[in-house]
Amino acid sequence: MGENAGARTKRADARRNEKTLLDAAAAVFVASGVDAPVRDIAAKAGVGVGTIYRHFPTRADLIIAVYRHQVEACADAGPKLLAENESPHAALAQWIDLFVDFLVTKHGLAGIMQSDHSGFEALHGYFLTRLVPVCTELLDAAEKAGEIHTDLEAIHLMRGVGNLCIGAEADDSYDARRLAALLITGLRQTG
């Protein structure tokens, strides 16, 4: 029993370490783009560069892992935000902030993945399958609460937010979060 408990603990530690690494990489990618030096990611994660390469031998491996990690974080966040907020509109606004961070990272992925179109398409399908239902749930809850007026479909809102994020990684003065917040505020039911 002692060996199995140790193996479970080690696996749990490994999962936590990988999550820490992926969170750090995502933060660095949002701030500096997907071409940020691996040493910056290692410093943010509090690990050596070799640790990153041991887990992710290529930059594409790291970027894909961050992409999947962020999709799961966004998918998991939707129901949690609905449960934690009195206002579904506030939950939607907070979720859109997370989505914007994800999109800023995602835009760099396209350049990395150009040589593997099928891999990019598979990731895009994964993204849609996981996130469209979450956005739909948030929109439906806000509409049901009378906070927004919309016949807007989740995929269209997500595309609109995505379009607001284009170029954000190339221009430090461009604030995609602010523009997305204005869009979400515009959904508010007035009067």
pLDDT, tens digit, 9 for 90 and up, residues 96-139 = 999 998 887 666 665 665 555 556 678 888 989 999 999 999 99
Q: CA distances (Å), 66 to each of 25, 62, 155, 183, in order?
A: 7, 6, 22, 27
How many Cβ atoms sit within 10 Å of the Cβ of residue 60? 16
Q: CA distances (Å), 41 to each of 20, 29, 51, 75, 107, in order?
A: 10, 9, 11, 24, 18
Q: What is the pLDDT of residue 29?
A: 83
Q: What is the pLDDT of residue 83?
A: 97
Q: Which of 70-79, 81-90, 100-109 has the lowest mean pLDDT?
A: 100-109
Is the separation of the CB atoms in 121 and 180 below 8 Å?
A: no
Reduced to 3 states (helix: H, G, I; strand: E, B; else coil), residue 148 is: strand
Q: Which of 21-30, 50-59, 83-92, 165-174 has the lowest mean pLDDT?
A: 165-174
Beta-bridged to residue 148, according to DSSP, are 188
Q: Which of 70-79, 100-109, 175-184 has the lowest mean pLDDT?
A: 100-109
Q: What is the pLDDT of residue 157?
A: 96
Helix axis angle, 88-113 to 2-32, nearest 10°: 80
Secondary structure percentages of the chain, helix, strand, coil, to 5? 80, 0, 20
How many Cβ atoms sit within 10 Å of the Cβ of residue 189? 13
More confident residue, 135 or 169: 135
Candidate CATH numbers 3.90.1170.40, 1.10.357.10, 3.30.2230.10, 3.60.15.30; the one for domain 58-186:
1.10.357.10
pLDDT (tens digit per residue) in 11-60: 777 677 888 999 999 888 877 877 889 999 999 999 999 999 999 998 88
Q: What is the pLDDT of residue 32?
A: 80
Ramachandran bin of 33, using left for φ above 0, alpha for ψ from -120 to 50, beta for the remaining angles? left
Reduced to 3 states (helix: H, G, I; strand: E, B; else coil), residue 188 is: strand
